[in-house]
Structure 1
Amino acid sequence: MTYVWTPDEDYLENSNVARLMRTLGVATADELRARSVGDIGAFWQAVVEDLDIPFATPYAQVVDQTRGVAWPEWFPGGGLNAVDACLGKWAGRTPEAAAVVHEAEDGTTSEVTYAELADRVARVRAGLRAAGIGKGDAVALYMPMTPDAVVATYAVVSTGAMLVPLFSGFAPGAIASRVQDAGAVAVITADGTLRRGRSTSMLPQLREALGSCPTVRTVAVVDNIGERGALGPGEVAWEDWLALDPDPDVEPTSASDVLLLAYTSGTTGKPKGAVHTHAGFVVKTACEVSYGFEMGPGRTFCWITDMGWIMGPLSILGTHGTGGTLLLYEGSPDVPDTTRLWRLVERHRVSMLGVSPTLIRALRSKGLLPTQALDSVRVLGSTGEPWDPESYEWLARDVFGSRVPIINFSGGTEVGGSFLCPYPVEPIRSCSLGGPALGMDVDVVDDRARPVRGEIGELVCRQPWPAMTRGIWNDDAEGSRYHEAYWSTYDGLWRHGDYALCEEYGDGTTGWFILGRSDDVMNVAGKRVAPAEIESVVAVDEGVAESAVVGIPDTTKGEAVWVFYVARGDEEESVVAARVRGRVAAEVGKPFAPSQVLRVQQLPKTRSAKILRRAIRAAVLDADPGDLSGAENPQAVDEIRVQVKALP
């Protein structure tokens, strides 16, 4: 029987989203969703009021769509700097509350209160201004997840400069391409970080990259692992800025001033800089973190991520936009062993724990349930890839005793949050994304833009939202790259590039599922099938720890299914392969039985544990896998390439 999480009276009465429902006079989550898109201006105004988001200057209206759905103006005439809304507000109200807690892989911890954070930000702001950095400049951030990264984020934003977050594992070429595109005048970095018990240098990578970035004139360097050494021309010690007298003045910014440039991963062409604004990003992320993830003062948010992905800025601004505590973990979540995640929860009394399906599959494969106290957890978060039922239900039912909802949400860099999101006040079916996120008028449509239910279609959005990217940085005057990327497929509809499925069930519930990127979904004998659909069947096999499914060109079927798996034990590959083929044929259909089932030592993943399926497909085809600078283990792609070439 399908697992369904059911809310108890606590969530129905005391959750943040229940408070909003009472304010708007609705009784169910679906009624709230309908209200949120029936009049988007009225809804987002209610969010601003409910979350008490402070605008220094009142806005004339919530949204102006005079230029059309693709170019809305949010909170026109309003003034808001994200630092005032996320830091200044709480430094005044709860100065001694913990704003940031940090744990390194070696177990050392530190804590920064809101008052201390505000003081450090004011000192670094003085350093930035002394370096001539101010409103309209771009400042890149190449940092591990440490308190200094949070200080740097707010210091840059408080000067009116644009933040350009970079993934801490980027190679020089990936750093340079983004710094060049943004025209950054400064970079804040660290000498390195510790991961899997080893120091990983960052400063040498940056120095190499900046050789082709003539716009950069200042580099501030944090001595994070004691390997900074002598500073070069244009470089300044981070602690010198922290020793300055605080600059008390946050730069006034308008609602539509640029807050950050969030670059896509670049796996399918040149990285795109999504443009996010002060008011839009703050309002959307605070909405997300409050109503979906149940955050607020006295609660602790932990999502193991990186500043270079949208979850980094979302975690910082969303948590602090609600007055909560942000727990940062610097390192690998399975060091020294797979109990690390649970010990992190127990030690820091985590309220919201963000995980990935791949991480949970790895923990589940060990066959051990945690013995740590996990009673502090109120919500589990997940994003980035589809779940398989076995891993989802192991986490929900076996680990957390069916008492905690999994808020599995899906959106993207350009979205500034989610398109789809369940809420703690509604039943949540296994692996489901619940339904449209609040204020998001999303649908699943066929090739002719007609809504479809019970079959795979494209995920689209019919109306704008506050954190919708205001275009692509360095686009032409007409915004042709922006239009081509999101608005060219359907007239007046944002096409996100995800295939989705909306199922309606006899009990009145609905299940929404993201099945993968449109270019990941396979067309086998004329029928679309998503990798997740087959991977969920493969995951049941006792010989499989984790798997990835890709479609490979085939003269008979159009595309054939190939399965790559990491073994759980030492069973013969041929035995596992035969069993997997039989399972898929029986549960998905004979045409989808895998043509190849190959055992590999590892699957290529990002540091946030997402499997890089397109890179696997490229390895099979001996093609360019694209930008692998965000990969945790890029060598896995070459290993697969060699293995495939050796096939008879």
Structure 2
Amino acid sequence: MQPQWVPTEADIAQARITDFAKFVESRTGVSAPDYRALWQWSVDDLPGFWHAVWDYFELGEIDGEVLTRAEMPGAQWFPGTGLNYVDQVVRQFRTDRPAIVQLTEDAPPREVSWTDLIDGTAAFARTLRSLGVQPGDRVAGYLPNIAETVIAFLATASIGAVWSACGQDYSAKAALDRLGQLEPTVLVTADGYRFGGKAHDKREDIAALQAGLGTLKATVAVSQLGLEVPGTLSWNEATANAETEAAIIETASVDFDHPLWIVFSSGTTGLPKGIVHGHGGVVLEHLKAVALQADMGPEDTFFWYTSPSWMMWNFQIAGLLVGATIVCYDGSPTYPTSDALWHNAAQVGATVLGTSPGYVLACIKAGATPRTDHDLSALRQVGITGSSLPPSSALWLGDNVGEHVQVASISGGTDVVSAFIGGARTVPTWPGELSAPYLGVALEAFDPEGHPVRDEVGELVITKPMPSMPIRFWNDPDGTRYHDAYFDMFPGIWRHGDWITITDRGSVIVHGRSDSTLNRHGIRMGSADIYQSVERLPEIIEALVIGAEQPDGGYWMPLFVVLTPGTELTDDLKTRINTTIRTEVSPRHVPDEILLAPGIPHTRTGKKLEVPIKKLLQGADPTRVVERSAVDNPELLDWYGSIRSATDVD
């Protein structure tokens, strides 16, 4: 296979990671002539690597050692060293470019200057202090992806309080399942949002949240729809003293592992797990990810389509850590047309755009041609995450967005609020593959006995700690839930729950979740391989494959398909689906049965509910299998539950 994109000599010479490698050599004598050599050094000498990252970005004095305990869980990073996430943002202050560009469906772009960002942060931090918010207290957000959400987070972090948020597409119950665990002191919200051409009034859900969060001292409401929200302090009132701040923020110096934010797991099988990350770990990991891996700096405009419910919202804010302009968009990527996201990217001059394989596939099926319909001359990288990007979609991006554009798929997760694998400006990209493990990530693929494998499917594991691994789970005093989530299978080794193949050239192929493994006749298979082949067919909107063990020892592997309007699931279409899977994946991947489904249920962040649906098909109690409020279309669960009697699975 030939690379899809190869860096030029100029790309390599000008890359920030090349400059970092020179910095490392000048201070340590370690020569890293290429990415693989630099990566190898970064995992062989973790303290040396992270010390170099700290100094390269001039984060200040280190008071003590870098890593005093390297075992997992419980690694101890930079004990005794203080910092604050917001300090690194403030250092990027400038007057020649905006800090944030706010996009909405029904208004021109709104620019938020660095002065407005920092003054607003300082003013809102003063309001939080006046409301009695102390370091360690929680501030909760129930907000769309708008500039005020970023400011509220920064203000919270600046005083050492802890931020946690979810988007307003969540119901009050789903939001309470998350934020209610935290006993927040202040709630920051908005009267509603616009999506798909419709206004969504959220005042009823806000009232339910206020009633359910008994620890609140105040609620602050941003006006998005011009509606009055009873019992709240307006955002304008909460930031009324912004003009007097003169770009000065009084930040609290906190320990390296002082909680910065709490992000939540999907919550499909019980209360969502609150995952706590610290200031220092996030600053280091995000600087590495955006500056060294994605090659971003002060001249970039960083636009990732995301929501405050998803860790990519937290990841996008990292653009501010390197002085880039970030883009907040609270609308639909397909409104008013299927290529609206490309229009928005052109409008703001995005240099790095992030989206999902699902959106790319939707553009392919809609016949979109972004490079001819929009001015994407500023764009140099398209980031992809959420699921695996098929080779055909990667090639489509090259043909229809631009050969000069690097397609940089990344894979990581909420757990580390960063990526394990992705691209670098000095490494080629191959269709359907992730270019390399990130620096400082000791990535391996393990067989069931815990031995590393190459060029074959294995469990994604991390054998050495990363600074942004959770400092703990919320309400997990003895660490049992944290240990069981990652370290139960291979003691002392982080098992992430993905199937991967590490190729002989060092790239990585992600096959899907290992906890939803298809295991037919003893052969382990990834569901992502099936989706990549089937969902390219023009008649298929989306597919879901399940491997369900049966009580009699049998194994049933149905494929559920959602068809385009007006299409029927004929024998001919079934034959073409099976032939596609047989020829593009393997005969073993051909399903036992193809069933027409009314839809595919997902988590609120867009991941298919493979494991809960498998349990439903095996006859489990629906009330114990999945929390309905965590599902984007919970009515679909009833349909999948009814399949049990029709198929005799139970």
Q: What SS is found at the alignment partner of 1:354?
A: strand
Distance 1:248 1:349, change over 3 A: closer
Whole-angstrom distance in 1 between the partners of 2:585 and 2:158: 53
Q: What is the identity, as a one-letter code, of the residue corresponding to 1:548?
A: L
Name the residue aligned to 2:302: 301
CA distance in structure 2 between the partners assigned to 1:635 and 1:372 by the alignment: 38
Deviations 1:489-521 (A, max 9, x none): 1121111122222232xxxx2331222222222
1:348-405 CA distance string (max 9 Å, x none): 110100010011111100123122111111111111211222222111x211332222
Q: Which amino acid aligns with 1:58?
A: I
SS at 1:604's partner residue?
A: coil
Corresponding position of 1:257: 258
Confirm or deny: 8 A CA contact 2:268 2:603 kept in the other structure: no
CA distance in 2, matches of 1:647, 1:160: 55
Question: In 1, Cα distance between the equivalents of 2:74 and 2:35?
Answer: 29
Per-residue deviation, residues 69-104 of structure 1 (Å, max 9, x unmatched):
321222222111111112x1112xx14421100110
- Tell me which amino acid in the other structure corresponds to 2:512: G
Change in 2 beyond 3 A, CA 1:537/1:644: farther
Partner of 2:145 in structure 1? 145
Counterpart check, 1:576 vs 2:577 = no
Query: Structure 1 residues 606 and 267, CA, compared in 2 at 3 Å: closer, same or farther?
Result: closer
Check whether the contact 1:65–1:73 (CA below 8 A) recurs between aligned residues.
yes
Separation of aligned partners in 2, 1:321 and 1:22: 22
2:88 corresponding residue in structure 1 = 85
Report the equivalent of 2:28.
none
Cα pair distance change 1:346/1:319, threshold 3 Å: same
Return the offset for 1:644.
7.8
Q: What is the CA-CA distance between 1:418 and the residue it aligns to?
A: 1.1
Report the equivalent of 1:592: 589
1:76 aligns with 2:87: no
The residue aligned with 1:388 is 390
SS in 2 for 1:20: helix
What is the match of residue 63 of structure 1? 67
Does the Cα contact within 8 Å between 2:99 and 2:326 map onto a contact in 1?
yes
Distance 1:568 1:511, change over 3 A: farther
User: Alpha-carbon deviation of 1:606?
Assistant: 5.0
Q: Partner of 2:540 in structure 1?
A: 544
Verify: 1:34 aligned to 2:37, yes or no: no
What secondary structure is seen at the aligned counterpart in 1 of 2:516? coil
SS of the aligned residue for 2:473 comes to coil
C-alpha RMSD of the superposition: 2.3
How far residue 217 of structure 1 moved from its aligned partner, in angstroms, is 2.1
**Quick one: distance in 1 between partners of 2:367 and 2:377?**
21
The TM-score normalised by the length of structure 2 is: 0.92
- Residue 568 to residue 350, structure 1, CA distance change in 2 (3 Å): farther
How many Å apart are 1:2 and its aligned residue?
Answer: 5.4
Q: Is the 8 A contact 2:569 2:596 kept in 1?
A: no
Paired residues of 1:292 and 1:407 also in contact (CA < 8 A): no
Taking the aligned partners of 1:107 and 1:618, their CA distance within structure 2 comes to 45
Name stretches of at least 5 consecutive residues in structure 2 with no aligned partner: 25-30
SS of aligned partner of 1:150: helix
Q: Map 1:499-648 to 2 at 5 A.
A: 499-504=499-504, 509-554=505-550, 557-567=554-564, 570=567, 572-606=569-603, 609-614=606-611, 616-617=613-614, 620=617, 624=622, 626-638=626-638
Q: 1:300 to 1:627 in 2, by over 3 A?
A: farther
Count residues with an aligned counterpart: 632
Q: More displaced, 565-574 or 2-11?
A: 565-574
Q: Secondary structure at the match of 2:188?
A: strand
Distance, in Å, in 1 between the alignment partners of 2:206 and 2:76 is 36
Tell me, yes or no, if the aligned pair for 1:121 and 1:155 is still in contact at 8 Å.
yes
Q: Distance in 2 between matches of 1:20 and 1:13?
A: 11
Q: Could you list the runs of 5+ residues in structure 1 that have no partner in the other structure? A: none
Q: What amino acid is the match of 2:69?
A: Q
Report the alpha carbon displacement of residue 21 of structure 1 after superposing the two structures with TM: 2.5
Is contact 2:290–2:296 with CA below 8 Å preserved after alignment?
Answer: yes
Query: Would you say the 8 A contact 2:163–2:262 is kept in 1?
Result: yes
Counterparts in 2 of 1:642 and 1:174: CA distance versus 1, 3 Å: same
What is the rounded CA distance, in whole Å, between the counterparts of 2:429 and 2:42 in structure 1?
20
| Structure 1 CA distance for aligned equivalents of residues 280 and 184 of structure 2 | 22
1:444, 1:501 within 8 Å by CA — same for their partners in 2? yes
- Matched to 1:392, the amino acid is A
- Quick one: structure 1 residues 374 and 383, their matched pair in 2 at CA, closer, same or farther if it must change by over 3 Å? same
Q: Is 1:502–1:512's contact at 8 Å kept on the other side of the alignment?
A: yes
For residues 405-456 of structure 1, what are the alpha-carbon distances to aligned partners after superposition, in whole Å with 9 as ceiling and x for unaligned? 2211111112120111221211211111222111011111011110112222
Partner of 2:272: 271
Q: 2:381 aligns to what? A: 379
Q: Which range moves more in the overlay, 4-13 or 118-127? A: 4-13
Alignment of 1:39-438 (within 5 A): 39-52=45-58, 54-55=59-60, 58-65=62-69, 68-86=71-89, 88-91=90-93, 94-229=94-229, 231-232=230-231, 235-244=232-241, 246=245, 248-316=249-317, 318-370=318-370, 371-395=373-397, 397-438=398-439
